Amino acid sequence: MARKGRKGTAARASAKRREAAPHAAEARIVPTLSGLLAEKRVYKPSAAFRRQANCNDAKVYERAARNLEKFWGEWARKLEWFKPPKKVREWKAPFAKWFADGKLNVSVNCLDRHVKTARRNKAALVWEGEPGDRRTYTYWELWREVNQFANVLKRLGVRKGDRVAIYLPMIPEAAIAMLACARLGAIHSVVFGGFSAESLKDRINDARAKLLITADGGYRRGNLLPLKQYADEALAHCPTIENVVVVKRGGAEFPVHIREGRDHWWHRLMQDAGGWCEPAAVNSEDLLFILYTSGTTGKPKGIVHSTAGYLIGVLATTAWVFDLKEDDLFWCTADIGWVTGHSYTVYGPLALGATTLMYEGAPDWPARDRFWDICERHGVTVFYTAPTAIRAFMKWGAEHIGKHDLSRLRLIGTVGEPINPEVWVWYQQTVGGGRCPVVDTWWQTETGHILITPLPGLTALKPGSATRPFPGVSADVVDAEGRRVDPEASGGGGYLVLTRPYPGMLRGIWGDPERYKQEYWSRYPGLYFTGDGAKRDEDGYFWLLGRVDDVLNVAGHRIGTAEVESELVDHKAVAEAAVVGIPHELKGEAIAAFVTLKDGHGASDPVELMDELKEHVVRKIGAISRPDRILFAADLPKTRSGKIMRRLLRDVATGRALGDTTTLADPSVIESLKARYAEE
């Protein structure tokens, strides 16, 4: 950096850059991070932000709490209905219905409603592919594509209530496919493109999907991932799939197998599809989608979301949390295969008539400033990403950000994991230029939309806290017996529960109502158990502490320890496996697996076997589940009744002092493990 007062070329260049990028200079404040943290500063919204905010009336909290039905009913009136609902909520714990006597269509609300107004020619979806190709769809164009593709699906026999699996990269066709399903009242089940053939197969079969939409490939770090090839492996075991629609993403030379009669190219089918498809009048409580996520058993659960409640929840939170205006450009960086991509790349912004940006590839391709390059070139104004990504940006260095003019950004957000206060402050200073409010939003696949969050025009922010429940949402922190934890007492920590239903709440687990009751409602009668630890401070702010069940959060991805364990024991050499989470600088948490081998499989080359086991898990589930560490053990620590004591394994893996070992059947097992782990 040029020294003050010097008039050399470097100083002139730097001043020029500052002119072009007003906040690039502010990015250099970062070295004062520890000072900012030590101050325990509370970040109040500026008067200017507050004035322009979509929600700037602090009384909303009280009004919503006093009359929940009126509060959500007012949001419902913003939608277009075939039959407006008279009822708001029916609650027979643990089953909720919202706006149950209404009829509507999600694609009409995301598209037709806007096409009838001045938004007709406004950009709805701005897309950039990893190689740099770009496409922008106006509301009119997106509406046309969705109508055409709905006609394609109809011709291939898709009807209301049918399940359609979507296994696509981050390309516009993913959003078009979702909206086309919604137009017909078909239920989509999007499977993240990073999942393996086996994971895809399990999800297709559980949902009994009739049709699959995939692509020949998708770009990741310059390579084309052969999605269709994975899909073909899955389809060999998916008897319910009748037709496959394949998007051509790779070039003509990219090899792909097309099975005559079953597989159809997207672009060919679209050529003769009509531009108008009558939208189905869907009941409020009919399902919009299934999305699989990890729980505490080896089998992923299909979380089901309804039509009206979900749409109203994402509409309200997109409007108030992201504060979107007509001229904003919103970029939620999540993949469409996760709930964040569903709610805040597709449904929330489009329901609101906003412009949403979608990017196909990696943040460091071809260079580590790709995200900021996208923000600058497209003029992104509201940006939403995960703490894992922010930690990586922080490690890569502020210079990648300083190169770009991010002065258009006015609000930034985070989701998916607890964010450390120092990372929060870095984000606020470096990406947010010290002027953007940061919304740390807590929610889950199950909740459908954001539940604990600042309202950027109202809330004084504390770095590391997701602050307060959204108006109309009610959360609490309880102890193991379900008693409310007093925030003043002993740190105020406990288990996060939700105490009232809200519109987007999951309606159950596909095909397994018992598991729904068991997983969420059995621990504390009448309360929804989130699986998260939390504490509340003296101001009533919530601080999320991570999962307290056997679910890991690796780089913002939810991974059930039981899923990884069952794939490990599926390997011919493995007798038993126990998986625990270990802290990781970038990913938040990483996977450590303790493995005992079958007799006769004592590896001659343990490193080779370790790699083989890691690859086995990747092949079975997907790269997100790759264990970071594998430790071979002669035995695993168990209670006298044979239960593996993961708590002790966690102590071993993190190098902590061992907790209570009195219930162990054989205490020597853990001692030898501890010695081995320390050695490696």
Q: How far is the CB of 449 from ligand PRX (least distance, A)?
A: 9
Q: Name residues whose C-beta falls within 8 Å of residue 276's C-beta, 6 or more positions apart in sequence.
A: 147
Does 417 help bind ligand PRX (rule: CB under 6 A)?
yes
Q: How far is the CB of 476 from ligand PRX (least distance, A)?
A: 15
Q: Using CB under 6 A, which of 361, 531, 588, 637 touches ligand PRX?
A: 531
Q: Which stretch binds ligand PRX (CB under 6 A): 71-79, 103-111, 411-419, 431-439?
A: 411-419
With CA atoms as reference, report the closest residue to 202 among 228, 233, 234: 234
For residue 366, whether the previous peptide bond is cis, meaning omega lies within 30 degrees of 0, is: yes
Assess contact for 36 and 425: CB atoms under 8 A: yes
Q: Using CB under 6 A, which of 429, 445, 465, 625 touches ligand PRX?
A: 445
Q: Using CB under 6 A, which of 43, 424, 443, 502 touches ligand PRX?
A: 443
Assess contact for 186 and 159: CB atoms under 8 A: yes
Q: Which stretch binds ligand PRX (CB under 6 A): 49-57, 257-265, 304-312, 524-532?
A: 524-532
Does 172 help bind ligand PRX (rule: CB under 6 A)?
no
Does 441 help bind ligand PRX (rule: CB under 6 A)?
yes
Q: Which stretch binds ligand PRX (CB under 6 A): 114-122, 163-171, 236-244, 525-533?
A: 525-533
Q: How far is the CB of 391 from ligand PRX (least distance, A)?
A: 14
C-alpha distances in angstroms, 165 versus 192, 268, 348? 11, 20, 21
Q: Using CB under 6 A, which of 309, 363, 418, 504 touches ligand PRX?
A: 418
Question: Rounded CA gap, 354 and 318, in Å?
Answer: 10
- Which alpha helices (DSSP H) does 446-521 contain, by range? 513-516
Does 345 help bind ligand PRX (rule: CB under 6 A)?
no
With CA atoms as reference, report the closest residue to 326 among 134, 75, 124, 80: 124
Q: Name residues whose C-beta falls within 8 Å of residue 209's C-beta, 6 or more positions apart in sequence.
A: 163, 164, 165, 189, 203, 238, 240, 241
Does 547 help bind ligand PRX (rule: CB under 6 A)?
yes
Does 449 help bind ligand PRX (rule: CB under 6 A)?
no
| Binding-residue pattern over the window 458 to 477 for ligand PRX, x denoting contact by CB under 6 A | --------x-----------
Does 428 help bind ligand PRX (rule: CB under 6 A)?
no
Half-sphere exposure of 474 (CA within 13 A, CB side): 12
Does 532 help bind ligand PRX (rule: CB under 6 A)?
yes
Does 448 help bind ligand PRX (rule: CB under 6 A)?
no
Does 335 help bind ligand PRX (rule: CB under 6 A)?
no
> b/e per residue, 180-206, with b = 16+ CB within 10 A?
bbbbbbbbbbbbbbbbbbbbbbbbbbb
Residue 322, SS3? coil
With CA atoms as reference, report the closest residue to 341 among 359, 317, 321: 359
Q: Name residues whose C-beta falls within 8 Å of residue 425's C-beta, 6 or more positions apart in sequence.
A: 33, 36, 37, 463
Assess contact for 393 and 422: CB atoms under 8 A: no
Strands 263-265 and 528-536: unpaired
Assess contact for 230 and 250: CB atoms under 8 A: no
Q: Using CB under 6 A, which of 126, 288, 332, 544 touches ligand PRX?
A: 544
Q: How far is the CB of 293 from ligand PRX (least distance, A)?
A: 5
The tokens of 580 are what?
């625990």
- Which alpha helices (DSSP H) does 464-623 contain, by range? 513-516, 561-569, 606-620
Q: Dihedrals φ, ψ of 117, to 5°?
A: -120, -170
Does 550 help bind ligand PRX (rule: CB under 6 A)?
no
With respect to ligand PRX, which residue has the nearer C-beta, 235 or 287? 287
Q: Using CB under 6 A, which of 340, 385, 430, 465 touches ligand PRX?
A: 340
- Which alpha helices (DSSP H) does 95-138 contain, by range? 106-107, 113-115
Residue with the two structure tokens 């899909």: 231
Q: Which stretch binds ligand PRX (CB under 6 A): 112-120, 231-239, 434-442, 658-666?
A: 434-442
With respect to ligand PRX, which residue has the nearer C-beta, 151 or 445? 445
Q: Which stretch binds ligand PRX (CB under 6 A): 139-147, 210-218, 413-421, 504-512?
A: 413-421
Q: How far is the CB of 574 from ligand PRX (least distance, A)?
A: 27
Does 416 help bind ligand PRX (rule: CB under 6 A)?
yes
Does 26 help bind ligand PRX (rule: CB under 6 A)?
no
Does 264 help bind ligand PRX (rule: CB under 6 A)?
no
Question: Rounded CA gap, 413 and 443, in Å?
Answer: 13
Q: Which of residues 642-661 bind ligand PRX (CB under 6 A)?
A: none
Assess contact for 509 and 484: CB atoms under 8 A: no
The tokens of 24 are what?
């690039």
Q: Which stretch binds ligand PRX (CB under 6 A): 234-242, 475-483, 530-538, 574-582?
A: 530-538
Q: Dihedrals φ, ψ of 32, to 5°?
A: -90, 15
> How far, in whole angstroms, is CA 525 from its chain's centroid?
28
Assess contact for 674 and 649: CB atoms under 8 A: no
Question: Rounded CA gap, 498 and 478, in Å?
Answer: 10
With respect to ligand PRX, which residue has the nearer C-beta, 99 or 383? 383
> How far, in whole angstroms, is CA 240 from its chain's centroid?
28
Assess contact for 509 and 291: CB atoms under 8 A: no
Q: Which stretch binds ligand PRX (CB under 6 A): 253-261, 528-536, 559-567, 575-583?
A: 528-536
Q: Using CB under 6 A, which of 293, 307, 381, 625 touches ligand PRX?
A: 293
**For ligand PRX, how many residues bind (rule: CB under 6 A)?**
21
Q: How far is the CB of 619 from ligand PRX (least distance, A)?
A: 22
Q: How far is the CB of 532 from ligand PRX (least distance, A)?
A: 5
Does 553 help bind ligand PRX (rule: CB under 6 A)?
yes
Does 442 help bind ligand PRX (rule: CB under 6 A)?
yes
Q: How far is the CB of 348 from ligand PRX (least distance, A)?
A: 12
Does 561 help bind ligand PRX (rule: CB under 6 A)?
no
Q: How far is the CB of 612 from ligand PRX (least distance, A)?
A: 29
Does 286 help bind ligand PRX (rule: CB under 6 A)?
no
Q: How far is the CB of 80 from ligand PRX (least distance, A)?
A: 27
Q: What are the respective helix, strand and coil percentages of the chain, to the nearest 5?
A: 35, 25, 40
With respect to ligand PRX, which residue has the nearer C-beta, 355 or 453? 453
The tokens of 444 are what?
């889950």
- Residues forming contacts to ligand PRX in the complex (CB under 6 A) are 293, 339-340, 415-418, 440-445, 466, 530-532, 544, 547, 553, 558
